[in-house]
């Protein structure tokens, strides 16, 4: 489930970042997600090696148990998304984030040799992958802080303005 939990929230923040809102926190999330990509690949490799070394536990029953655990994780993540975004607002459409979780959960399952739960699910947020794949050579310490300072200037903003 590494790489599925909280991805609804990550997607929402980056969607706002894409609209030039929250530039500082958006940049921070991009770096966080680059790190998450490493976690996903590390844990996937570890899992696959463990299954290779312990073939006797890689049974159809165990595979189905893992798929059902993922299904439960998806349901929890979708509840979380509905809490974060009870209505479509500020350019965010809840259905896109719900479908996105189905899509990435299937990528995680398939990455571990498991059958998808929603075969054929399409990625409703294709731009998100590019945004998460921040250039590795970009140096965090060379990033400009001025954009963040501008955005967070001491103005009182109402939620309706976001």
Sites of contact with Fe ion (CB under 5 A): 36, 39
- The least distance separating Fe ion from the CB of residue 130, rounded to whole angstroms, comes to 20
- The least distance separating Fe ion from the CB of residue 139, rounded to whole angstroms, comes to 22
Give 64 or 133: the residue with its C-beta nearer to Fe ion.
133
Rg, Å, the chain Cα set: 18
- The least distance separating Fe ion from the CB of residue 3, rounded to whole angstroms, comes to 8
Taking the chain, what is the end-to-end CA distance rounded to the nearest angstrom?
Answer: 31
Total length of the chain:
162
Give 47 or 148: the residue with its C-beta nearer to Fe ion.
47
- The least distance separating Fe ion from the CB of residue 34, rounded to whole angstroms, comes to 11
Going by C-alpha positions, the residue among 28, 1, 7 that lies closest to residue 100 is: 7
Element (H, E) at 146: helix 146-151
- The least distance separating Fe ion from the CB of residue 146, rounded to whole angstroms, comes to 30
**CA 79/CA 17 separation, integer angstroms:** 23
Give 39 or 122: the residue with its C-beta nearer to Fe ion.
39
Q: Which residue is nearest to Fe ion (CB)?
A: 39
Give 23 or 30: the residue with its C-beta nearer to Fe ion.
30
Give 1 or 117: the residue with its C-beta nearer to Fe ion.
1
Buried b (16+ CB within 10 A) or exposed e, 88-107: eeeebebebbbbbbbbbbbe
Q: Where are the alpha helices (DSSP H) in 54-93?
A: 60-84
């Amino acid at each position: 489930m590494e790489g599925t939990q909280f991805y609804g929230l990550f997607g929402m923040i980056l969607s706002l970042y894409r609209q030039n809102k929250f530039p500082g926190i958006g940049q921070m999330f991009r770096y966080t997600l680059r790190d998450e990509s490493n976690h996903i690949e590390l844990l996937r490799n570890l899992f696959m090696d463990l299954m290779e070394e312990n073939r006797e536990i890689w049974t159809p029953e165990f595979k189905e148990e893992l798929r059902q655990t993922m299904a439960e994780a998806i349901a929890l993540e979708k509840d979380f998304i509905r809490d974060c975004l009870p209505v479509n607002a500020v350019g965010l459409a809840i259905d896109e984030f719900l479908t996105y979780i189905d899509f990435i959960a299937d990528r995680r399952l398939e990455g571990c040799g498991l059958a998808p739960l929603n075969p054929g699910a399409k990625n409703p947020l294709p731009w998100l992958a590019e945004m998460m794949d921040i250039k590795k050579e970009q140096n965090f310490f060379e990033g400009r802080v001025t954009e963040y300072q501008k955005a967070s200037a001491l103005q009182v903003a109402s939620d309706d303005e976001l």
